[in-house]
Structure 1
Amino acid sequence: MTQASATPQIVDWSAAAQIAARLAAPGPRAERDELDALVAGLRSAAGDAVGHVLETTRMTPVSPGPDGAGLSPVAVVDRATWARANTQSMSVMTDGIGEVVAEISRSATSAGAQMAGAAEIGAVLALLSGRVLGQFDPYSGSGRLLLVAPNVLQAERALEVPVADFRLWVCLHEQTHALQFAAAPWLSEHLSGRTRGLVTGMARTSAELAKARFDRKIATIGRSVLDALRGEGGTIMDGMLTHEQKAELADITAVMALLEGHADVMMDAVGPRVVPSVRRIRAKFERRRDGEGRSTFDVVVQKLLGMEAKLAQYRDGAAFVRTVERAVGREGLNAVWAGPENLPSAREIADARAWVRRVHG
């Protein structure tokens, strides 16, 4: 039996984890030998990627990784485990929001309302679990890198690219994320704090939310947390935010675009010396992102999950990184990790030269 939390919760996170894991599809079939080689290959690639990322980014962790090696613990997981892990991260991100909801409603969150939120978030995470190759999670202790083995296997089969190159390429992206948080240890609390502030502010000020039935409040807030974690706007929440909250969401989205775009640029910057087929992989991967070979169902699901906004983040962030590098070089770009004041705003993500003028004069 799950022990009740000492503080009000907006979602039954234990139930959300169970629902997400139960609904997550297992992924492609493979023989045991192939699966063992996949897991070993991903672990090896994750280790190999660290040195290349450090050299390419010219960034330095503030403190050494676990046991003085690497950047973070690495776990090769299935889809259900990835989904469960994300409910844990979301629980951390929403800490304290339940108290605000209870204050608005003048009562603690009911078990039924918590289950309604759990069902919605669990279902969304189950769908997302089949579309994520890897993820650096900065909200679990000191952080951890998750590599979703069935999705990597499915992608490399679909793309028909050299598997060793593809696995290293994926790990270069995720280890760049690990390095971002290791070089800027203030970043995880900055993002989680801004996200909590946005969601609690929305809960306090949104007239639509205040008038909604209580179970509707819970489901709405749960979805807003998921959107904010992915740094997305343009969802059903968009019409429920004040002007100031929309601006705050845009700035959170800008930071997420920076993180994704920076990782995308750096994973290719290692070049063919490290990943011989990098240009071929990138070309095929971009066509895959653009929808080549996807079924109508996949297209609809991607729209429902807001993943088109996520893809725009990669491209907007990558354009920002490349423009800044052309102006002030890679060392100049790395000033972005010096502190929260150096992060780009939503306007600066679209106008990188404005960021250069503000930060470098």
Structure 2
Amino acid sequence: MSIDHHKPNTSEQADRFDNKTVMTKMNRAWEALKDAVVLIDGDDRLTWWNLAAAQLLSLQDKDQGKSIFDYIQAPEFHEYYQEVTAHHDLHKDVHNDGVHMASWRDPKRYLKCEMTAFDKDKLLMIYDVTRLQHLEQMRRDFVANVSHELRTPLTVLMGYLENYSDQSDIPPKWQRGLELMTQQTARMNRIVNDLLLLSKIEIEETYELGYIDMTKLLTHVYDDAQAYNQDYGHTIHLQIDTYDGLYGSEMYLNSALSNLVINAIKYTPKGGNIEISWVKTSQGCQFSVTDNGIGIDTSHITRLTERFYRVDSGRSRATGGTGLGLAIVKHVLHQYNTSLQIESELGIGSTFSATFASSYVRSLS
């Protein structure tokens, strides 16, 4: 027995896919969305919005043509809006992670705004990320609390291990065990310290902001690198082409840049070359570290700044890495609205760099 499937004829297909029908379905789809969608023209005026946006922003038909800034006045939204607009005007791509902020109506709610510019218009989407924000805060609190609680017992263990290791009458069979315990408690202490630092940066703990003398800071980073380099025998060069400094937290920036330089030392075979540079660019100033080390496969690069992510876990443990260094770098650079750029080739070497916009650059003159 055969079944005669109904096949739509040409006229039925035309009816199903005519422009009016498609537009009607699209409008119904936009209205069904729980996320707010707003269309903005080249003069920052509201031209269209869906039901969710009308409820979120209390929009009525008479509000068409008014400025988006009459309804969203948060400074972080203004800054994000201008950044997206500027990049679009210059025909540049922007790393669009959107902007997170507390709701202007209910401080207990958190929103995420993402905007896409096209032609002279912009499409703004607003998501309610309150639940995700609360989960992220719980994770941060947990990490910070556990790290604090681990610090005291670790200090006690390290103290006793140091005292026992200094005893001259320790039986030989215990010496190896004490050495391993000392190494591993020291490694755990480094992890705890990095977790605490990362927690402070993530929760934007109050820190001192001011002028950072980059020549002085990079000289300090270079001196520390030379001390660490004694067992590696690398040739390390420091190139400073500008005396311009930055405005920010010197403590956090020093930690981030030191992490990049120490990583270059650790992952370059003995007798390698490492270049540290600070140069002026058309966009501001750029810091970079280049090595001729083992390199990184491109499949790993996008995940390098994740906590505890390891390209080679065995090598990372051998070098004493905590797996948190690049995560710290990522969060410190976020304070300057920039990101870590990584270029690498296996067996050839790597370059880690960050460009600081002119708004953060400070000149001595």
Normalised by the length of structure 2, the TM-score is: 0.24
Normalised by the length of structure 1, the TM-score is: 0.24
> Higher relative contact order at CA 8 Å, sep ≥6: structure 1 or structure 2?
1
Higher strand share: 2
